[in-house]
Amino acid sequence: MDFLRPASWEEALAAKAEHPTAVPIAGGTDVMVEINFDHRRPEYLLDLNRIGELSEWEVGRRSVRLGASVPYSAIMEHLRTELPGLALASHTVASPQIRNRGGVGGNLGTASPAGDAHPALLAAGCEVEAESVRGTRLIPIDAFYTGVKRNALEPDELIRAVHIRKADGPQQYSKVGTRNAMVIAVCAFGIALHPETRTVRTGIGSAAPTPVRAKEAEEFLNAALEEGGFWENGKIITPAIAKQFAALASGACNPIDDVRGTAKYRRHAVGIMARRTLGWTWEQYRGAGRTLEGAA
């Protein structure tokens, strides 16, 4: 196995163009497991760790440009206000050691349906900045996950950054696992209220071949909130609306039975998480959240 160590982003793109089968390695918390277990034996490893800009972020007016290798621990420490859903999801990833190494670029690269960043990214809304020597493109997150552990990257492309919409309202993340830490999700649910556009977005993890949004649930809820004037009057969401939202979220799942849980359990748990996280975020919105810009 050859180890390529580009010193700059341009060198990394050139190396990927020359060796499209080269496997990028950032934190290595997925790649090294695969190599150690002999699940993967790439001809080339492309080490991205000398490229400092991948571990940096910029907070813009409407979005955060998060470098692909920014570790979860930095998101938790520095971006809690701008990206609350992703910060909450980051808290649930593995252990401090893994959170210091692993990042969103690696989670997207692996594209496991159980990756914790995905539901938060889907709910917030974001675009993946993919680049090759041919140029740059922004891939909407809804188009990024193409199959089980598959993504929309071309063989010569690398992820440079992720452009994530800054929170304009409350966000939540909920995960079911067999214990509290160091656990891969049995299933997970992310929700983001967007008072500016009067919409709610969701993300479901580990309950379908890819991370997915519960689109019917979103459409139902958006219509119900609009019809009842909930965004203006801040009324408590009725149990009937919450129940239907949960049922539709549950229906968006297409899970399998595996060692971590049954399909039936996953569907059930996603419904429960959808109802709870809606309750939590709506309570936040009715309180402090409703003073947010655009919600008046």
- Which residues are at the interface with ligand FAD (CB under 6 A)? 23-31, 33, 48, 68, 93-94, 98, 101-103, 105-107, 109-110, 115-116, 158-159, 184
Q: How far is the CB of 93 from ligand FAD (least distance, A)?
A: 4
Judged by beta carbon, residue 93 or residue 295, the one nearer ligand FAD is: 93
Q: How far is the CB of 122 from ligand FAD (least distance, A)?
A: 14
Q: How many Å apart are CA 83 and CA 199, to the nearest integer?
A: 17
Q: How many Å apart are CA 60 and CA 52, to the nearest integer?
A: 20
Q: How far is the CB of 286 from ligand FAD (least distance, A)?
A: 31
Judged by beta carbon, residue 169 or residue 203, the one nearer ligand FAD is: 203
Q: How far is the CB of 115 from ligand FAD (least distance, A)?
A: 4
Judged by beta carbon, residue 18 or residue 219, the one nearer ligand FAD is: 18
Q: Enumerate residues 6+ apart whose C-beta is below 8 A from 37.
A: none
Question: For the CA atoms of 160, 166, 170, 171, what is the dihedral angle to 10 degrees?
Answer: -10
Q: How many Å apart are CA 205 and CA 225, to the nearest integer?
A: 25
- Helix/strand/coil (H/E/C) assignment for every residue in 210-252: CCECCHHHHHHHHHHHHHCCHHHHCCCCCHHHHHHHHHHHHHC
Q: How far is the CB of 186 from ligand FAD (least distance, A)?
A: 11
Judged by beta carbon, residue 110 or residue 244, the one nearer ligand FAD is: 110
Q: How far is the CB of 81 from ligand FAD (least distance, A)?
A: 22
Q: How many Å apart are CA 265 and CA 256, to the nearest integer?
A: 10
Judged by beta carbon, residue 33 or residue 138, the one nearer ligand FAD is: 33
Task: Say if CB 63 and CB 150 are below 8 A apart.
Answer: no
Judged by beta carbon, residue 138 or residue 236, the one nearer ligand FAD is: 138
The letter for the amino acid at 79 is L
The letter for the amino acid at 21 is T
Instruction: Name the residue among 51, 92, 47, 54 with its Cα closest to residue 73.
Output: 92
